[in-house]
């Protein structure tokens, strides 16, 4: 069975500082990987996804993530955060030949002015 | 383009009452799913459907029923509500499972359910 781990439940960071949100997954087969963002009182929206090809994936709002197959990781990074990046971030995995999308527990990013 | 529409946005139930959370999508997606979101636990999959007439259980199916009579609609039924079902419920749709398609999941705005 697939699972997703987000070790950091809360990440405070000062405005304009860099940030990395960690995501590790377990799966015995190839997967698709996603990062979703949830702003307060809203639904989830896709930040970026890895389906195949280049392991460095760029998404919206200046975020990027790197797929590392040997470490089964898909960490999310941004070189300089803004107040508006304060939100909950979810890593998710979908098995290529299957239909379930499994989410991690989420990381709450708080950007401090 | 409506995307995924969930109704109602808010609901308060008494223990033992039944209700149906509605979900509709207009993207002709085959795959639809229901999640519940609880603090510190992220999103947990309740039930999902890979097409009309086909449903299956997710991680936390107990206390919930689903059906998929059309491609567009995927209602979630609580037959006898319990306080443990107090949560925020999200419906999602995607074309997941097909290697040549975008597998992004599109989410509704959520239903905040309180069972007292």
Q: Give the lowest-confidence range in A40-44, B33-37, B99-103.
A: B99-103
d(CA B32, CA A101): 10
β-partners of residue A66 are A56, A75
End-to-end CA distance of chain B, in Å?
36
The answer to whether B46 touches B61, Cβ cutoff 8 Å, is yes
d(CA A77, CA A93): 18
Query: Which residue in A23, A88, A100, A106 has the most chain B C-beta atoms within 10 A of its own C-beta, making it the best mutation to test that interface?
Result: A100
d(CA B76, CA B34): 8
pLDDT in tens, A40-89: 878 888 899 888 888 999 999 999 999 999 999 999 999 999 999 999 99
Instruction: Judge whether residue A101 has pLDDT over 90.
Output: no
Give the closest of A51, A99, A103 to B50, CB-based.
Answer: A99
Beta strands in A1-113 (DSSP E): 3-5, 10-14, 19-21, 24-26, 31-38, 44-50, 56-58, 64-68, 73-78, 87-95, 101-103, 107-112
d(CA B31, CA A33): 17
d(CA B54, CA B67): 8
pLDDT bin (cut points 50, 70, 90) of residue B98 is very low
Determine, for residues B42 and A96 on separate chains, whether the beta-carbon distance falls below 8 Å: no
For position A21, what pLDDT does the model report? Answer: 98
What does pLDDT average to over chain B?
89
């Amino acid at each position: 069975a697939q699972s997703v781990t987000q070790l950091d439940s809360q990440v405070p960071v000062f405005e304009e500082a860099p940030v990395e949100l960690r995501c590790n997954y377990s799966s015995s087969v190839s997967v698709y990987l996603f990062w979703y963002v949830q702003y307060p009182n809203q639904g989830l929206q896709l930040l970026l996804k890895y389906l195949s090809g280049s392991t460095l994936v760029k998404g919206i709002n200046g975020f990027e993530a790197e797929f590392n197959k040997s470490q089964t990781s898909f960490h999310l990074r941004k070189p300089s955060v803004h107040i508006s990046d304060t939100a909950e971030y979810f890593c998710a995995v979908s098995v290529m030949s299957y239909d379930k999308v499994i989410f991690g527990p989420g990381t709450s990013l708080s950007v401090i002015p | 383009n409506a995307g995924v529409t969930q109704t109602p946005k808010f609901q308060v139930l008494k223990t033992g009452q039944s209700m149906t959370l509605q979900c509709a999508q207009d993207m002709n997606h085959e795959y639809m799913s229901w999640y519940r979101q609880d603090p510190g636990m992220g999103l947990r999959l309740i039930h999902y459907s890979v097409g009309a007439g086909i449903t299956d259980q997710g991680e936390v199916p107990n206390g919930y029923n689903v059906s998929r009579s059309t491609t567009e609609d995927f209602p979630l039924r609580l037959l006898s509500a319990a306080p443990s079902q107090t949560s925020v419920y999200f419906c999602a749709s995607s074309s997941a499972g097909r290697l040549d398609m975008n597998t992004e999941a599109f989410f509704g705005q959520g239903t905040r359910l309180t069972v007292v």
